[in-house]
Amino acid sequence: MTVEEAAAAGEDQEIISWFEGVAENAGLVQTQTLRRIIELNHRTEYLQKWLGRDLQVQDLDPAALESLFISSVPLACHADHEPYIQRIADGDISPLLTQEPISTLSLSSGTTDGRPKYVPFTRFSSQSTLQIFRLGAAYRSRVFPIRAGGRILEFIYSSKQFQTKGGLTAGTATTHYFASEEFKTKQKRTKCFTCSPYEVIAGGDYKQSTYCHLLLGLAFSDQVEFVTSTFAYSIVQAFAAFEELWEELCDDLRGGTLSLRVTSPGMRRAVMDCLSPNPSLASNVEMKCRELEGSDWGSLIPKLWPNAKYIYSIMTGSMQPYLKKLRHYAGYLALVCADYGSTESWIGVNLEPHDTPERVTFTVIPTFSYFEFIPLYTRNKKDNSNLVVTDDFLEGDPLPLSRVKVGQQYEIVLTTFTGLYRYRLGDVVEVAGFYKGAPKLTFICRRKLILTVNIDKSTERDLQIVVEKGSRLLSQTRAEVVDFTSHADLAAHPGRYVIYWEVKGEAADGVLDACCREMDASFADHGYVVSRKTGSIGPLELRIVETGTFGKILEYYIGNGAAMSQFKTPRCTTNEVLLRILDRCTVKRFRSTAYG
C-alpha cells in the first residue's frame, strides 16, 4: 500500500467511525441537532412568531425544547417560507429565517412544481455536501476498491449564477457547490481526480461541456475508475451523444486537437492543455466503436473504459425510466445509487452500494437536519381521530426519527440549519429497516399528484409503472421509449390523460396502438378505473413525438436558467410552452379502446 493509499484508508475509517457513532444514538443525536438549530436561530422573526420572544433556550433540556418546538411550530410548505425568502432575496438583512445573514440562494430544478423555488444556501450546505460525499465514497471503497491517483469520468455541469434584486448570489445548488471551497477540497483530497478541468464543468454550454467530458474521458480512458453524474439522465444523454460524435472524437484524439464545435475560449485553452496527439489510442477507440456500432452500443462503457468499476448516479424516482438504457451502456458494470438528498437538505447515505437501484436504501444521517415523518395510509384504511384526509392519503401525526416503523410509508418533514422549519418536503419514503438506530429509507415517489381529471389521483410512480408496462410491448420490435411526459387534457370532453412518447427505432402502428390500450388498462387507481368505465374520463391518448423533442424541452429549461446537472424531465406538464413544443412535434396519435 502506498503512502497515499494508506492516508486515504485512514480518512475512510475516520468518517465511517464518526457515522457509526451518530447512527448508534440517532434518536439522541436528533434531539441535540434540533437544539443546536434552535440555539442558533431562535431570535429570528420566523421562530419568534411561534416560540415567542422570551424563549430562554438554556432553561430547557433538549427533550423539553423538542416538545415545545413540535407543539408550537406548525407544519409548513414552501409557500409559508417564501415571503421570508423573497424578502431576503430583495435585500432584507434582518434575521428572518437564520441568525446569520444569508448571502446565497439555491434554485430547485423547477420540474416538480413547474417553476424553480428559492432555497437558502449557506456554508453548512457545502460542508454537509462534502461530508456525505466523503462518507458515501468510504462505503463504496469497501465494495469497489479503486486505485489512488486514478481518474473519474464525471458528467457534471455548472450553470450561471446571477444576482437577486437585493444583491444575493443565486443559482443551482450544484453550481454553488462547484464554486465552493469544499468542492476544491474534495478535488484535492479525493483518491481520484476528475478527467475534466473546472473550465469544462463551468463552461455554461452543456453540449460543449459534454463533448469535452467525452474527449478527455477517452484521453485518460485507462485511468478511469468509475463514471458518474448527478442524475442518470445526464449519463444516458452523454453516451447517446457519443453515438453521434465518436468519429469526430477520434479525430481529435489522433491529432491532439479540439473540434470547432467547442467555441468557449476558456474551455478550449483548458482542454488543449490536457491533450497531446495519440494516434494509437485513436485507432484503438475507432476500432472498438465500429464494433459497438454494429451491436447497438451495448456495453459501451466497459469496452472503452476497461478499468471502470461502476456507474454512480441518482437512479431512483424520476430517473428510473433511464435505467434500461443505462444498463445497456454499462454492460456488466454495477449501477450504484448516489446518496439521497434534495435542494433543501441531504437526507441519507447509501451504505450498501452493491444493492441494485430497485433495492437501494438510504440511511438517515441524523446530524444534517431534524427529521420528522408523517405516516401515510391508503384511503381504504379505517378512519379514526388521529387521521386526516389530504389529497390521496390519510395522514397520521408526525413522528420523530426514533419512532418510525418498518414497512410504513411516510412523508419527510425537515427542520434545517439553513432556515426551513417543519418543512414538508413532499417525498414519500418507506422504512425498510434500521442501521443501528438510524432508519433505512426506500424512496417511493413525490407526494404531489400529477394527473387528475375527475376523482382519479395518479402519482408519478403510477405513471412510471403504466409506461413501463406499455413499453414492454415494444420488445417485439427494435424500438424503445427514449423519454416521456404526460398531460391531463381538461379541454377535451370528457377530460383524458395524454401520454407523449419519443421513440427510437421503428414500431408498427398496430404495436403502438396496443401500447396505448395497455397503458390505459394499467392505471390501478380506483377513481381512474371507475371514471373510465362510466365515461367521465375519456380514452387515454398516446402521442408519438418526433426525434429530438425532449432535447427541445431540455433546451427550453436550460434557456430559462436550469442546469444540466439538475434537469429532470417533467413527468406531467401544464406548461403552455412545453405543450406547444409537444403538440408541434407530434407525428402520430393513438386512442385507447381498453374500456370500449
Please write the tens of the pLDDT for every residue from 479-508.
889 899 998 888 888 888 999 999 988 889
**Does 351 reside within a domain?**
no
Q: Which residues lie across from 162 on neighbouring strands? A: 170
Q: How many CB atoms lie within 10 A of CB 359?
A: 11
**Does 451 reside within a domain?**
no
Cα(385)–Cα(284) distance, integer angstroms: 70
**Does 354 reside within a domain?**
no
Range of the domain at 391: 371-446
Do residues 168 and 103 touch, judged by C-beta distance below 8 A?
yes
Q: Residues 137, 142, 146, 148: is their CA dihedral positive or negative? A: positive
What does the pLDDT average to over 552-573? 78
Query: In terms of domains, do 562 and 485 share one?
Result: yes
Q: Which of 273-287, 447-461, 570-584 has the lowest mean pLDDT?
A: 447-461
Which of 351-355, 532-536, 554-558 holds the top average pLDDT? Answer: 351-355
Boundary residue ending a domain (66, 86, 121): 121
Query: In terms of domains, do 150 and 192 share one?
Result: yes
Q: What is the pLDDT of residues 61-93, one digit of tens each?
A: 888 889 889 999 999 998 999 999 999 888 888
**Higher pLDDT among residues 370 and 190, named by residue:** 370
User: Does residue 111 register a pLDDT over 50?
Assistant: no
**Does 352 reside within a domain?**
no
Cα(127)–Cα(269) distance, integer angstroms: 31
What does the pLDDT average to over 11-18? 89
pLDDT score recorded for residue 395 = 83
Query: In terms of domains, do 416 and 488 share one?
Result: no
Query: In terms of domains, do 219 and 336 share one?
Result: yes
User: Does residue 560 register a pLDDT over 80?
Assistant: no
**Does 358 reside within a domain?**
no
Query: In terms of domains, do 127 and 108 share one?
Result: no
**Does 596 reside within a domain?**
no
Within its chain, how far is the Cα of 592 from the centroid?
Answer: 33
**Does 63 reside within a domain?**
yes
What is the three-class DSSP state of 42?
coil
User: Does residue 166 register a pLDDT over 90?
Assistant: no
Query: In terms of domains, do 263 and 152 share one?
Result: yes
Query: In terms of domains, do 202 and 218 share one?
Result: yes
Query: In terms of domains, do 287 and 141 share one?
Result: yes
Q: How many CB atoms lie within 10 A of CB 181?
A: 11
Percent of the chain with pLDDT over 90: 49
Query: In terms of domains, do 525 and 420 share one?
Result: no
Q: Which of 53-57, 321-325, 585-589 has the lowest mean pLDDT?
A: 53-57
Average pLDDT taken over every residue of the chain:
86
pLDDT tier for residue 216 given thresholds of 50, 70 and 90: very high
Number of domains composing the chain: 4
pLDDT score recorded for residue 351 = 94
Query: In terms of domains, do 259 and 134 share one?
Result: yes
Which residues have a Cβ under 8 Å from the Cβ of 203 and sit 6 or more positions away?
157, 158, 209, 212, 264, 266, 267
Cα(344)–Cα(419) distance, integer angstroms: 10
Boundary residue ending a domain (87, 121, 155): 121
Query: In terms of domains, do 327 and 312 share one?
Result: yes
Boundary residue ending a domain (320, 341, 362): 341
**Does 128 reside within a domain?**
yes
Which residues have a Cβ under 8 Å from the Cβ of 287 and sit 6 or more positions away?
none
Query: In terms of domains, do 465 and 431 share one?
Result: no
